[in-house]
Amino acid sequence: MTSTTPSRLSRRAALGTALAGALLLTSALPATAATPAATARSSSNSHPTGSHPHPLPPLDTDALRAAISDLNHPQVTGAQVRVDGTAGRWQGTAGVADIKTGRPIGPNDKFRIGSITKVFVATVVLQLSAEHRVDLNAPIQRYLPGLLPDRFPPITITQLLNHTSGLPDESGPDIPDTSTPEKVLQHRYDQWTPERIVATVTRAKKMKFTPGSKQEYRGINYVLAAMLIEKVTGHSYGKEIATRILRPLHLNNTSVPGNDPKIHGPHVHGYLAMTDGTLKDATDFNQTVAWGEGEMISTTRDLDRFISALFTPGKLLPPATLNQMFTLPAKHVHMLDGSPARYSTGLQTVTINGITVWGKTGERYGYYSAMVSTKDQQRRAIYSFNPTHRDATQTQLALRIANALTTPPAPTHS
């Protein structure tokens, strides 16, 4: 089995959107399991934060254990799940953290969280908004003058955070060729700056669509959001995340690595299958290519603590500001494929087996993870697994976890 990897940054973003599914992408779910995101739109507006229309079903721990025990569909080297909340708790692992030593995955092992980074960035931007230091309705061009071409129309901060910016696809000769897993690893130590990343989209002559008219998940939106944080505060976005979120919540195993390619301390290794099927360790990887939108490192315990605090009004965000995280764009705004918008200001939503969850998925080479919760925190779930192929097969395991989290246990017969 060969790995299919995108050859350009824009294709990487497109693949990430397709794979963000599983637990959060409705089009990837069986018709019997998921309802359109429009359902989540109506439920998010009819039930205030902290409420839920009915109790959740008991947690099916046998199904969760079975979901992560199959390490061959897709091929993964390890998996871990942490479930918390008032409707049940469970924690389990499968596989190993290191295939060379055979060490099992520990409860505090670190892993790359990919695009879950965006939730941290969005939280800081919304905090700055609550402090009246950022106007979410103002164009990013006001805060970062000269960065985007004059031919681009005004793009508001909200349009960046909810992926309705319409920014063009990446292009240019400096984008590394990642068409094979071997070429991916050839570029693992490449150094990127945010300005260089932005330059890959400013070469285009026109926008993909009018800002605010459609929705398309794009990492570049959060590169600009992180640059906004740095311009307004005078500090690196990583320092602001640490000061405002990590230290107050004691998220001691969460970090923004910058140009450090290593994961320090106990961690789960990520692997990439080469074209001949052999596995190469892809753990060491300079994540500046995902600056501001996908570079962070964390653990299941830290992410559970983060989303619990985030969904508690007044803990990280005032209630009115937090409500924006549970508000989707206007109903006329659809994804490019015509499906309902599913990204809010910093989060993503779906209704699975009648249960609406909010959160975010993330992926880097060798890592795939998710952080989700019901609004009332009856059920919070963090998972991470280590796929050896970065392609659509990753959704198989994520779908098993999603259904295990939302389906009542089978009745027992005495």
Q: Quick one: 337 exposed, middle or buried, by C-beta within 10 A (0-12, 13-18, 19+)?
A: exposed
3-state secondary structure of 341: coil
CA distances from 58 to 61, 67, 335, 351 (A): 9, 17, 34, 17
- Residue 115 annotated to the active site: yes
* Active-site hit among 115, 129, 255, 298: 115
What are the φ/ψ torsions at residue 138 (nearest 5 degrees)?
A: -85, 150
Is the omega angle on the peptide bond into residue 266 within 30 degrees of 0, that is, cis?
no
Residue of 277, 246, 7 whose CA lies nearest to 113: 246
What is the number of residues in the chain?
Answer: 414
- CA atoms within 13 A of residue 275's CA, in its CB half-sphere: 9
Do 333 and 340 touch, CB atoms closer than 8 A? no
Two tokens, residue 183: 């070429």
The CA distance from 124 to 131, in Å, is 10
Q: What is the DSSP string of 342-353?
A: -B-SS-EEEEET
Residue of 190, 311, 295 whose CA lies nearest to 241: 295
SS (H, E, C) 142-195: HHCCCCCCCCCCCCEHHHHHCCCCCCCCCCCCCCCCCCCHHHHHHCCCCCCCHH
Residues acting as catalytic residues: 115
